[in-house]
Amino acid sequence: MEKESITENVRRGLSSAQAEESRRAHGENVLTPPKRTPLWKLYLEKYNDPIIKVLLVAAAVSLALAIIENEFVEVIGIFLAIFLATTIGFYFERDAAKKFDVLTAIGEESPVKVVRDGKVQEVGRREVVVGDVVLLGVGDEVPADGTLFEATDLQIDESALTGEPIISKFTDVRNDGATYPSNMALRSTMVMNGSGRMVVTAVGDATEIGKVARKSTEMTSVKTPLNMQLDRLAKLISKVGTGVAVAAFVIFLGHDIMTNSLWHTDDYLRMAETVLRYFMVSVTLIVMAVPEGLPMAVTLALALNMRRMLKSNNLVRKLHACETMGAVTVICTDKTGTLTQNKMQVQEMWAEGADAGLLRAAIAANSTAELDGDKPIGNPTEGALLLWMHREGHDYRRLRSENGVVWQLPFSTERKYMATIAEVQGRRYLFMKGAPEIVARYCDMGEADRAALRERLLGYQNKAMRTLAFACKPIDASVDRVELSPADAHLALQGVAAISDPLRTEVPDAVRQCRKAGIDVKIVTGDTSATAIEIARQIGAWDDATPAEAQITGPEFEALGDDEAYERAHVLRVMSRARPTDKQRLVNLLQKRGEVVAVTGDGTNDAPALNHAHVGLSLGSGTSVAKNASDMTLIDDSFGSIVRAVEWGRSLYKNIQRFIFFQLVVNVTALLLVLGGSIAGTELPLTITQILWVNLIMDTFAAMALASLPPSHEVMDEKPRKQSDFIINPHMAWAICSVGILFFAALLGMLVWFNGRGEVTVGQLTMFFTVFVMLQWWNLFNAKSLGSSHSAFHGFFEDKGLMIVLLIILVGQWIIVTYGGRMFRTEPLTAETWGWIILCTSPVMIIGELMRAISRFKKPIEKSKDAEETSSKTMPRTWLVESILVTLFCCLPFGIAAIVFSTQIESYYTLGRYDIAQRKSEQARKMLLWGIGLGVISYIIALMYYLLIPTMSFA
């Protein structure tokens, strides 16, 4: 009697006032985060980076030389470089950590079903208080510790706390050897089967998991496929750099020994200084060869991608998902919620000849769902049935309380039905609800009735409707539990509900984009074949030419041998009536075929497939088990978000490739120059501080610019990359070597020419240094368009980061040249010299633009849907802006040169140097004509491209 009184009291739950009082007394349901590592320790950890250690060696050697020579300019530059490298990396890591904290906090707002003020409602997990009545169902994460007072076939996974995978729970304490009492449910454990209700006894740090969390913390890190490739690249470059450094040391020292009289004296101190100086050069070459901007470029790219993907409704839980999505070749998607809106509505309730009152009682009693106003809580299909009853004017809560539930067998994906024993108007009934073909096996029906039922079901399924059948039979009042078997069930069919779930409007276009991008879309669902095929037809994944073997049911797939299933997995487009094991087997077979698989799922039963896939995509409305097994969460549940994630992943990879191209061109040119300069017998063409400017300032800003480029929709026109593909593809390798060698040849020619005119002056070396930087500056335009046939000015004003970086590099170089003095071994250059340098280096970009224009014309002219959808206003604005930008940048260097020459003409006339004035006038006229001619040609090419080929994509 006392137990019944307690149960009756807790059934209404707490009132709002009681909940607030309990929160004040026991605190919020939040675990105190582990103690953080101090910021100073995190900063010092940056000095464990191998690249920073190399820089520290360089700094130590430079400091020794500075003390001997009393010259501290270079050592200041190196220490500044170390400070910049560590501080920038530290800042971005801290920024990423803050974002992860925000993402983690989202978990505390996960909805929990509680009873308050006598009705079921959803509250955030952190709002659960001691005394709350919590409803537990399959797939729920237990939000706090509590004592069970209702438990129906309840099984909980306590592996997160005790290591025990499945524990049966009851309303009383049993001596079953379990770690915790059998009537307790603990925070962070997962409901794997059945249902129940509990009264919360502890929240936050007072829970068992809270006590454990205070005693231990876990640090995990994931080595991503991209990072493995970058490690391979860094090792390759370091080996090359070390070889070049050793060669340079030997050549420089050998040349000095043969040409310097110092080595024929007894001045051993100066000899040691010379050896140390050349050793310093070798160390600097190693530093220069290591792509120190690369880790920051990758970190920045991943951090920006995570932030942007969150805005596009993709919550990234594991970093590798950002990059792996770009390599996905197959997407195995669920139907409900991902392809459809997950807004179930009963379109038709067929119950010919059935007792309407008994059917309503069956729907109310044989269900675990609830309604919060018009919002279903729990299973969406059951929620649709309750909403139908509400629209028909029937109160399911009243029927449920009047017809007491005696026993319940929860729905499972293996059985595909749910059963309940309930008292209805003083008589005990067994109710069954589930897949019609399963329920029909338990019913007494003639063959004609079964054929009529099959025909009706096929009609519903061909309209992509989900169907549920209801059956019942009266049973003896003494029966409080049954073992069901088709042979002796003898149920009577009550009716069939046809439930529709409208297709998401964006899905057909998203699937079309996937297929265009070389990604195969497979539907894996628990629905019938007819429903699944109709949905596949609506989204464009199935047509009349699709072979029959592209469809299979879960049981049929299970019956296939391994070899046959291996071959069938490739051609499959639809798997219906799929069970968890079928989905997991399909994923494993596709992976064996070399496919990169992404899987969507929202239920506990999807967790194995989500865990085994390369990228597991859980739904925002899914269970905690599914989310914990996934790599990303689709906040809006939409398939369109998957396509955006693929686009982001591919663009991320391409942006990293662009930075690698840019940086390695700089490194190859610089390494060859030092060796070339030593062979030519010149003074070091680039000083240590100049090299550090090129590497640590230019490359750092270039990393920011190229890593932050927005995603390009054209990546969806390409086929997926293979995971085994090296990040430097053959085209990149050819471009890096050819551009690097051409830059080296041009700069070496300058050195030879300077040598031929006598002793090389500081002014000439300043010109050399500026030409080197400007070549890379123009090459940044080519890097932006690497892997694309678009002009470098395509979407130029959207690339604000790139525009700022270009300006910073140009202004920074002018400041260094003008005011660098002894620290950078420079002297100011005249306006005329600047004009000539800009003019002579601009072909780097102009030739790149011409090559990209030629590749555009070579492309097959195909009518693109994207071009069709481009508005008549957007197209003219796009080609007009881009054409003007191409024209301006092509003729700009010639215009600058013409202006520089023109400003000097008057001064030469004043000085009486008419011959020079005439020559400058002729040069200005030629530059102007060249500029106008090139501008007209580039504008005509741009017009031809945009006006004569309007079918090309402007995405």
Compute the distance between CA of residue 390 and CA of residue 374 in angstroms, rounded to an integer.
9
Helix (H, G, I), strand (E, B) or coil at 190: strand
Amino acid identity, residue 550? Answer: A
Please provide the distance, in angstroms rounded to a whole number, between the alpha carbons at the two ends of the chain. 72
Pair 806, 780: CB distance under 8 Å: yes
Burial class (CB in 10 A: 0-12, 13-18, 19+), 297: buried
Q: Partners of 524 in the beta sheet?
A: 575
Q: How far is the CA of 367 from the CAs of 171, 497, 682, in angstroms?
A: 21, 14, 88
Please report, as a single letter, which amino acid is at residue 660: I
Q: Yes or no: say if 617 and 322 are a contact pair by the CB < 8 Å rule.
A: no
* Cβ atoms within 10 Å, residue 515: 12
Report how far residue 395's alpha carbon sits from residue 364's, in angstroms, rounded to the nearest whole number: 9
Closest among 547, 607, 96, 623 to 310, alpha carbons compared:
96
CB atoms within 10 A of CB 325: 31
Pairing of the two strands 615-619 and 632-634:
parallel
Tell me the Cα Rg of the chain: 36
- Rama region for 611: left / alpha / beta (φ>0; ψ in -120 to 50; rest): alpha
Distance CA(583)–CA(581), nearest Å, equals 5
Q: Strand pairing partners for 433? A: 418, 470
Q: What residues are labeled active site?
A: 334
Stated as kind and residue range, the H or E segment containing 810 is helix 800-819
Report which of 193, 154, 189, 157 is spatially closest to residue 171, judged by C-alpha positions: 154
Residue type, 873: K
Per-residue CA distances from 518 to 329, 512, 931 (Å): 7, 10, 44
Cα–Cα distance, 747 to 742 (Å, whole number): 9
Q: What are phi and psi for residue 376, nearest 5 degrees?
A: -70, 140
Q: How far is CA 389 from CA 361, 383, 385, 410, in A?
A: 10, 10, 6, 21
